[in-house]
Amino acid sequence: MGEKNNMKPKVIVLRASGTNCNLETEKAFDYVGGKVDSVHINELVKGIRKLSDYDIIALPGGFSFGDDISAGKIFALRIKSLKKDFDEFVKKKKPIIGICNGFQVLIKTGFLPYHPDLKQKATLYLNDIGRFVCKWVRVKINKESPCIFTRGINSEFYLPIAHGEGKFVADEKVLKEITDKKLDALTYMDNPNGSYEDIAGITNEYGNVFGLMPHPERAFFSYLSPSKSSNKTGIGYYFFKNAVDYVK
């Protein structure tokens, strides 16, 4: 994005009542060189903060607004009221990442898979197992994907999941569009929830918007992972560093 600079990219970590992974997400972006603000969605709605002041948006995990209607739905409605601001952010190819509940929010806003009128084209449904699942799973990077967050990351590795509604569901036409355009940036090797096409995360055509159910912030340091590694940083580190490096 333009000429390289030494300024710290400004990151807005958007939260709501029930968000509970914002601190880990903030620390991850701070560690890789971002200047992070934790912002409640109401501050954007009321105009106290402006998206245009930021370079990166992060929607962290949790249970926003208690997931009372369905996971991420109320948060998504708040974001859709700011459609113009979010649309501009996307079109400027600034990075947006939605993790777990954040992915559910991006799906229910219509930003993933993208629809110009922000109509929902897919959903994240109840796991086939019928209950909440919390464990480490094997995932695989699609090397042909345009996703900026997954660039240069090893093809196969482990990430933790923690969700009750993680099954990616879409009709055949939408699924074909995703796979044909290589937007299925991250897939499960051992599908834990019944996701169609083993989808664990998808991106948009620009590659700057990325949603995933696994939690890279929980695999940020190698000692957090079940995989043995002599490196201090874990695989999750690179998801955040890629976004900051992209902005720089």
Q: Give me the pLDDT at residue 79, please.
A: 94
**pLDDT digits 0-9 by tens, 160-177:** 999 999 999 999 999 999
Give the integer Cα–Cα distance in Å for 122 and 178.
11
- Strand locations in 115-243 (E): 123-125, 133-141, 156-163, 167-169, 186-188, 199-203, 209-212
Identity of the residue numbered 126: L
Q: Please give the C-alpha separations between residue 65 and each of 76, 101, 151, in angstroms, as whole numbers.
A: 11, 11, 33
CATH code: domain 10-247 is 3.40.50.880
Give the integer Cα–Cα distance in Å for 39 and 8.
18
Q: Give me the pLDDT at residue 68, please.
A: 82
User: Domain residues of the chain, as ranges?
Assistant: 10-247
**pLDDT digits 0-9 by tens, 107-129:** 999 999 999 889 999 999 999 99
Could you tell me what percent of the chain has a pLDDT over 90?
A: 88
Residues with catalytic annotation?
100, 215, 217
